[in-house]
Amino acid sequence: MIEQFSFNLPSDRTGQKRLVSVFRPDFVSNDVLLPVLYMHDGQNVFHHDTRASWGIDRFIETSRLPLMVVAIASPPDWLDRYDDYSFFEDEMLVRRIGPELAKTRPTLGGKGRRYTDWLMNELKPWIDARYATDVDDVGVMGSSMGGVISLYMMATYPSIRRVGSLSTAAWSNLDPLIRELKQANLSARLYMDLGTDETSGPFTPEDYLYTNAKLVETIARTGIMFRYEVEPEGIHHESAWRRRLPNALAYLYDHD
């Protein structure tokens, strides 16, 4: 069953609402406490008849995985999405959109903490009060820039136990993200992956492979439990993330 709600971020002056979709599997009794996975780009998370769908609800039902999913839709303007999913303003974001379009905005990126504080300090307590949840079993997952913000959350909120970062847009915020990961006391279980043919805008497969390798090098030194998979010929698209989603969920949830 999927329920939908609309929220304002209190500190967001644009007045944009965030559509939040909540999936709790019907094969689990309503009074059973379930772990909760919060997912970014929530408009693409559940099954619908397009290629831009992860279909996580179908997978949970088929595999009988006792997991609740809260999917937060990203803003319709893709530049506002960058604001939500990056902790720091970053010149690489300007490279991504081009200098002319960048001139139309006073800043680009750097509002991720506003979004994640709302998610952890307001949305999560609301979800925990409304549903039977295991309040201590919290996961976050996203792809591309959603992977970037998921890694920031791992470094910023020690209560997060499980993190999925698929096709991480590591060219964004790379240096400050590495710094945050080095300074944090990490304890979550982490799944990361990447395809060898990923591109977005001016960024090439070599950009993705190099920047992800730098992240993985840093994470490996922290001693946390993590898995990093590279898919031959994998592209930067929801169809690839849907294909690799079972690997991510198996690693994050099948080892307790």
Render pLDDT for 132-146 as a digit per residue (tens, 0 to 9). Answer: 999 999 999 999 999
pLDDT, tens only, 76-118: 888 889 889 999 887 777 777 777 777 777 777 888 999 999 9
- The architecture that CATH gives domain 2-253 is 3-Layer(aba) Sandwich (3.40)
Residue 79 is predicted with a pLDDT of: 85
How many Å apart are CA 194 and CA 87, to the nearest integer?
A: 22
SS3 139: strand
Three-state secondary-structure class, residue 162? strand
User: Distance between CA atoms of 87 and 92, rounded to whole angstroms?
Assistant: 13
Q: How far apart are CA 168 and CA 184, in angstroms?
A: 19
Q: Which of 30-44, 103-117, 127-141, 225-239 has the lowest mean pLDDT?
A: 103-117
Which H or E element spans position 166?
Answer: strand 160-166
Domain boundaries, the chain: 2-253
* 36-40, 54-58, 107-111, 173-177: least confident range: 107-111
pTM, two decimal places: 0.94
Helix (H, G, I), strand (E, B) or coil at 226: strand
Q: Has residue 224 got a pLDDT over 60? A: yes
Query: In the prediction, which pLDDT does 101 show?
Result: 76
Residue range 192-211, pLDDT digits in tens:
999 999 999 889 999 999 99
Consecutive H or E run containing 9:
none
